[in-house]
């Protein structure tokens, strides 16, 4: 579903990704673990198409398309979704309107009919409840005045509404207490399906107790230095990244 | 307030002489010419304009706005064109409507019959011809006619809207539409004078629109004098969407008596050159003033909002939020002065002006100014200038929203904390639609 080959990328002239090879088939959840500054978030941003991240080598194929040639909105329309580590506040933009505009933009791109406000509300209500959110949060401006946990839930809500084919979760566990973490993980697990792929980026193993990955990759110094099954996450938790960092 | 000129630089220029010739030529024919008070008022206006001419950028209040376009143009009087109908759906909304074409009230296009008791809407020209003493007494009572543009208006004012709401009466909603017509190669100027008066405890929603034919090279130099009696409340919405060839200079003087409230929103999105000047006086205790607005400036347009708020009485509140969005090579100006008099203890003043630059070639000049002579006041002001937030733009695009739509969402969001101050949902929606239409114009390079 997602195939990354020899990907190198720089930020402000500094090479952050130094040759990444990774393939995530449909139906699988892969985790990327690594210490701070290893390039985890950069990988997420490069895949989502953020400006300022210059790809210097390699390719990314997503559902048979050249992902790197696409605009951010085209990537979203093709089914890619990045749950941000730091969701952006949008003062003056109502959350419900934002969610509906995003959904309708994606539906338009898919050739599906747009939803009006009533249809949308019907769709969103159940999902809001499942994530332990309130409808009042739909009336507020996007992420403005939201707690850290509310922001992360709002990301998962967007994911649940847009139903992307591929989800990238960037440090979705950071800033969450254990109850919030469980709710968010349940929201993510509910989206697991044979047709959907996921890439879970995290520093800690904690999240992976709740979202159990099929594969774990360790990113150090812009390269994947080790890959393995879910047990690798526990090993890292016990040993830390020190050894791997020294080797890289 | 009196502006100090360091030199009457433009006095004696061709355009000034031309306008003064007009004033002399028309003196006998303008409505109310034979009334000595009116004649003296016009003569004073002509004299002031003759001595000052067009303000130049050497005058502090005009530092950022150049009137070269006016100095270099010979404007004519509008012709009487009884057959002109603005291409607008005038029956679209209910309620009283006064239509002015090229500055003259057109009774046939207006809807001012069947007014509720205590509500009066009339043509200034009609009232002056009828020697209506109340109207005569109101002329120039509030406008700063020591300034050249209001003075010129006095010299040449021919018509305008006169609205009076009697004590305790709710006047509902009244609309005034001012429409400029095209005359190829013949720039026209007109100088409407509006007199609005609300009696004690009266209420009114006044919606003013200025539009014009696409090619109209018209200079509208309008003066509005607004008097709010004790406890009165006026909601005043102004929309200026004149064609790119137009020049719009507006001077609005408002006096708010004890416990009265003036709540205004001005949306400027048209004309080549706009100067929107407001002189507001909080004249009695517990008066309230809201001077909100948005300037949407694209292409080569220039828009200038200059306001002077006089806190002359204690316990008054003034609130001002003005947003300017600039695209292309546009220029924007915001000058906001709050003057708290010695007597105005417990003044509560708030002023916020923010600009969003969508193009590296656009520019804004912002000058907030607080002059406080009372010691127990709460006055705050803030100003920001910024560009579109790239992180926010990426966030929206990463959710599938195309770039143009994402930008539109962010521009609307920027305007929202000004537009959302309009309490009436219908009016708010209309202003919102106007801002969206402006964005369409920018996106399509129109």
Q: b/e per residue, A174-199, with b = 16+ CB within 10 A? A: eebeeebbebbbebbeeeeeeebbbb
Domain span holding position B200: 14-283
- Flag if A98 and B409 touch (Cβ within 8 Å): yes
Looking at CA atoms only, how far is residue A29 from chain B in angstroms? 21
Q: Determine the Cα–Cα distance for residues B312 and B373; give it in Å rounded to an integer.
A: 10
- Flag if B399 and A75 touch (Cβ within 8 Å): no
Q: How many domains does chain B have?
A: 1
pLDDT tens string, chain B, 446 residues long: the values are 444 444 444 444 788 998 998 888 888 899 999 999 999 999 999 999 999 999 999 999 999 999 999 999 888 888 776 677 777 666 666 789 999 999 999 999 999 988 999 999 999 999 999 999 999 999 999 999 999 999 999 999 999 999 999 999 999 999 999 999 877 778 999 999 999 999 999 999 999 999 998 888 899 999 999 999 999 999 999 999 999 999 999 999 999 999 999 999 999 999 999 999 999 999 999 999 999 999 999 999 999 999 999 999 999 999 999 999 999 999 999 999 999 999 999 999 999 999 999 999 999 999 999 999 999 999 999 999 999 999 999 999 999 999 999 999 999 999 998 999 999 999 999 999 999 999 999 988 75
| Nearest CB neighbour to A76, from listed B391, B398, B417 | B398
Q: Is residue B305 part of a domain?
A: no
Helix (H, G, I), strand (E, B) or coil at B257: coil
- Flag if A158 and B399 touch (Cβ within 8 Å): yes
ipTM: 0.96
Q: Is residue B319 part of a domain?
A: no
| Nearest CB neighbour to B395, from listed A88, A92, A101 | A88
Q: Is residue B102 part of a domain?
A: yes
Closest CA relative to residue B196, chosen from B226, B237, B218? B226
- Flag if B399 and A93 touch (Cβ within 8 Å): no
Domains of chain A, earliest start first: 2-247 (3.40.50.300)
**B9 part of contact set with chain A, CB < 8 Å:** no
User: Which whole-number Å values give the CA distances from A176 to A150, A167, B141, in the listed order?
Assistant: 9, 19, 64
Closest CA relative to residue B432, chosen from B445, B421, B416, B443? B416
DSSP codes of every residue in chain A? -EEEEEEEEEETTEEEEEEEEEEE-TT-EEEEE--TTSSHHHHHHHHHT-TTEEEEEEEEEETTEEGGGS-HHHHHHTTEEEE-SSPPPEEEEEHHHHHHHHHHHHHHHHTPPPP-HHHHHHHHHHHHHHTT--THHHHSEETTT--HHHHHHHHHHHHHHH--SEEEEESTTTT--HHHHHHHHHHHHHT--TT-EEEEEESSSHHHHHS--SEEEEEETTEEEEEE-THHHHHHHHH-SHHHHHH-
Q: Determine the Cα–Cα distance for residues A109 and A164; give it in Å rounded to an integer.
A: 13
Q: Is residue B39 part of a domain?
A: yes
Q: Is residue B314 part of a domain?
A: no
Q: Determine the Cα–Cα distance for residues B392 and B396; give it in Å rounded to an integer.
A: 6
Q: Is residue B315 part of a domain?
A: no
Q: Determine the Cα–Cα distance for residues B123 and B178; give it in Å rounded to an integer.
A: 13
- Flag if A105 and B401 touch (Cβ within 8 Å): yes
Q: Is residue B211 part of a domain?
A: yes
Q: Determine the Cα–Cα distance for residues A130 and B118; give it in Å rounded to an integer.
A: 58
């Amino acid at each position: 579903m997602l195939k990354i080959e020899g990907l190198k990328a720089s930020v402000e002239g500094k090479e952050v990704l130094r040759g990444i090879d990774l393939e995530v088939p449909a139906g699988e959840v892969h985790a990327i673990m690594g210490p701070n500054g290893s390039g985890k978030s950069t990988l997420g941003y490069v895949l989502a198409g953020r400006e300022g991240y210059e790809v210097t080598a390699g390719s990314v194929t997503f559902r048979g398309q050249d992902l790197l040639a696409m605009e951010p909105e085209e990537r979203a329309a093709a089914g890619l979704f990045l749950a941000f580590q730091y969701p952006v506040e949008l003062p003056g933009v109502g959350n419900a309107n934002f969610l509906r505009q995003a959904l309708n933009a994606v539906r338009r791109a898919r050739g599906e009919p747009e939803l009006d406000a009533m249809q949308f509300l019907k769709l969103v209500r159940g999902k809001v409840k499942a994530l332990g959110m309130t409808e009042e949060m739909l009336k507020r401006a996007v992420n403005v005045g939201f707690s850290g946990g509310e922001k992360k839930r709002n990301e998962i809500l967007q994911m649940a509404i847009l139903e992307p084919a591929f989800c990238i979760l960037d440090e979705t566990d950071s800033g969450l207490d254990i109850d919030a973490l469980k709710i968010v993980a349940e929201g993510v697990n509910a989206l697991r399906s044979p047709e959907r792929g996921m890439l879970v980026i995290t520093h800690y193993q904690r999240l992976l107790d709740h979202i159990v990955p099929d594969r774990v990759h360790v990113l150090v110094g812009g390269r994947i230095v080790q890959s393995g099954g879910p047990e690798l996450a526990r090993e890292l938790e016990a040993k830390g990244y020190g050894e791997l960092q020294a080797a890289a | 307030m009196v502006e100090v000129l360091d030199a009457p630089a433009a006095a004696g220029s061709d355009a000034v002489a031309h306008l003064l010739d007009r004033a002399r030529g028309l003196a006998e024919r303008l409505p109310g010419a034979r009334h000595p008070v009116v004649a003296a008022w016009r003569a004073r206006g002509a004299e002031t304009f003759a001595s000052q001419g067009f303000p130049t950028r050497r005058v502090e209040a005009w530092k950022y706005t150049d009137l070269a376009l006016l100095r270099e143009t010979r404007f004519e009087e509008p012709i009487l064109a009884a057959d002109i109908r603005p291409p607008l759906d005038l029956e679209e909304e209910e309620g009283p409507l006064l239509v002015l074409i090229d500055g003259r009230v057109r009774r046939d296009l207006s809807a001012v019959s069947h007014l509720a008791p205590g509500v009066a809407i009339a043509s200034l020209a009609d009232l002056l011809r009828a020697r209506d003493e109340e109207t005569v007494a109101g002329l120039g009572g509030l406008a700063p006619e020591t300034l050249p543009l209001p003075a010129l208006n006095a010299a040449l004012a021919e018509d305008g809207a006169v609205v009076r709401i009697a004590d305790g009466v709710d006047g509902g909603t009244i609309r005034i539409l001012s429409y400029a017509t095209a005359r190829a190669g013949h720039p026209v100027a007109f100088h409407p004078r509006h007199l609005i008066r609300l009696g004690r405890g009266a209420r009114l929603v006044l919606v003013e629109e200025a539009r014009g034919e696409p090619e109209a090279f018209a200079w509208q130099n309008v003066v509005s004098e607004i008097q709010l009696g004790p406890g009165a409340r006026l909601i005043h919405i102004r929309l200026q969407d004149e064609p790119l060839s137009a020049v719009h200079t507006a001077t609005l003087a408002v006096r708010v008596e004890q416990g009265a409230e003036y709540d205004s929103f001005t949306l400027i999105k048209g004309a080549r050159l706009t100067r929107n000047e407001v002189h507001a006086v909080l004249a009695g205790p517990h008066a309230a003033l809201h001077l909100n607005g948005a300037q949407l400036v694209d292409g080569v347009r220039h828009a200038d909002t200059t306001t002077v708020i006089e806190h002359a009485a204690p316990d008054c509140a003034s609130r001002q939020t003005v947003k300017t969005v600039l695209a292309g090579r546009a220029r924007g100006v915001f000058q906001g002065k709050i003057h708290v008099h010695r007597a105005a203890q417990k003044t509560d003043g708030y002023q916020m002006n923010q600009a969003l630059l969508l193009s590296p070639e656009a520019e804004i000049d912002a000058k907030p100014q607080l002059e406080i002579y009372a010691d127990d006041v709460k006055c705050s002001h803030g100003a920001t200038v910024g560009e579109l937030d790239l992180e926010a733009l990426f966030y929206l695009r990463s959710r599938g929203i195309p770039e143009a739509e994402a930008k539109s969402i962010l521009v609307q969001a920027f305007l929202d904390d000004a537009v959302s101050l309009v309490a009436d949902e219908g009016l708010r929606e209309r202003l919102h639609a106007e801002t969206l239409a402006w964005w369409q114009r920018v996106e399509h390079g129109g």
